[in-house]
Chains A and B, each alone.
Chain A
Amino acid sequence: MTRPGEVLEPPAFRSEPARRAVAIADRFGARRSARGPAEFRSDAERAWWLRRMLEELGTHCEDSPQLSDLRGFLIASPRGLEAVVASHLDDAERLRLYAHFFAHVLVGDADGAIAVCLEYADGRAQRDRRSPQALKQEGMADAVAAAMLHGRLERTPRYLYYRDEPVRTPGLRPGLRRRAGAVLHRISLALFRRSRRYQRLRTWSVTTLVVNRVQDVLAA
């Protein structure tokens, strides 16, 4: 609800991957809406579409028949992004993997630095030698990917996708509320990056209700 003199601007996206993540979540979440039939008929279609989104972001995607310990991996370097997926995966696994890779691109794990994200096949995780820091990043990517696939981005911090623009509203109080909101969003993002417990907490419906309520109060 706007007040007299208040101009509400749509939030700006933080990056192109963020814009596409919101589009993905909207499209995957459409099956729960009453507006019409689901757009995708199968996981194969969803996986294909998600792969196309990755390719449009400049990620070279290909399949490999040789992978056994890995379901796939994502390489990032200043030369670009490359995603390799095991050929034997079924459509549902492929969809989850592309979503996971997309989440890595979104959260900035692939931002120009040299990095490799490995996804181990079931039962092969004992070969996993990743550091605790890398495992935290994986946890975050898992949480973001799950939110995208279910069309529930409200389960993840807003600042992953949007960059809040100042609202041109007269008065000291709206500015203070907005700053308080910005601080809370930053705290939420920092917690989300570091804490698996907080990531799990954000998947609860009651948490989403509380977060939305706080956002509404601070934006009022």
Chain B
Amino acid sequence: RRSQAVLSWEMEELGYHVTQSMISRYEQGQLDTPLSLERLVGWALCCDALSSREFRELLALAGYYLPWTDDDLCRFDELLHSYRALSKPDQTVLRRKLLWHVLGIQSEEADHDAAG
């Protein structure tokens, strides 16, 4: 389980502005503003929880869909977990790239989104 501070930092590194207090309020159900698909996936990515039941339920609740099988999502989680021994900057670079693969965005589109 990631601490809220670490999770907030990792989300910022992915390019999403999600503060520690926002995370706290989301976890307590105090925030109504729905998370975008990208932020949901980013959150699950930071927690190595893409294959978790909770993530699947959240996606269904929000009406989102990821075209991956359960085995694929398990594989992503295994990869993310196994690379936790890397330095933080290396994990961030790897996680950013994996995020675009999970979301199904081509690299050129991702670079454009990041720049825009």
Contacts and interface: CB of A to CB of B under 8 A. Distances in A.
Contact of A69 (B87, B97, B106): B87
B109 to A, nearest CB: 11
A67 B93 contact: yes
Interface string A70-103: 1001010101101010000000000000000000
Contact of A70 (B79, B86, B105, B107): B86
A66 interface: yes
A113 B100 CA distance: 16
B32 interface: no
Nearest to A62: B107
Interface string B73-116: 00110010011011101101110011011001111100000000
A114 B79 contact: yes
A73 B89 CA distance: 14
Contacts of B85: 127, 129
B95 to A, nearest CB: 11
B57 interface: no
B72 interface: yes
Contacts of B72: 114
Contacts of A80: 101, 106-107
Interface residues of B, number: 23
Given A69-B86, A79-B101, A64 B93 contact: yes
Nearest to B87: A69
A77 B97 CA distance: 11
Given A75-B101, A79-B104, A114-B75, A84 B86 contact: no
B79 A116 contact: yes
Interface in A113-148: 113-114, 116, 118, 127, 129-130
B107 A114 contact: no
A75 B98 contact: yes
Contacts of A70: 86, 90
Contact of A116 (B94, B105, B106, B108): B94
A60 interface: yes
A67 B86 CA distance: 10
B82 A129 contact: yes
A68 B101 contact: no
A132 to B, nearest CB: 14
Contacts of A129: 82-83, 85
A62 B108 CA distance: 11
B82 A73 contact: no
Nearest to B85: A127
Q: Which of B79, B87, B97, B104 has the most A CB atoms < 10 Å from its CB?
A: B97
B98 A68 contact: no
Interface of A: 60, 62, 64, 66-70, 73, 75, 77, 79-80, 82, 84, 113-114, 116, 118, 127, 129-130
7 contacts: A64-B93, A66-B92, A69-B86, A75-B97, A114-B101, A116-B79, A118-B83
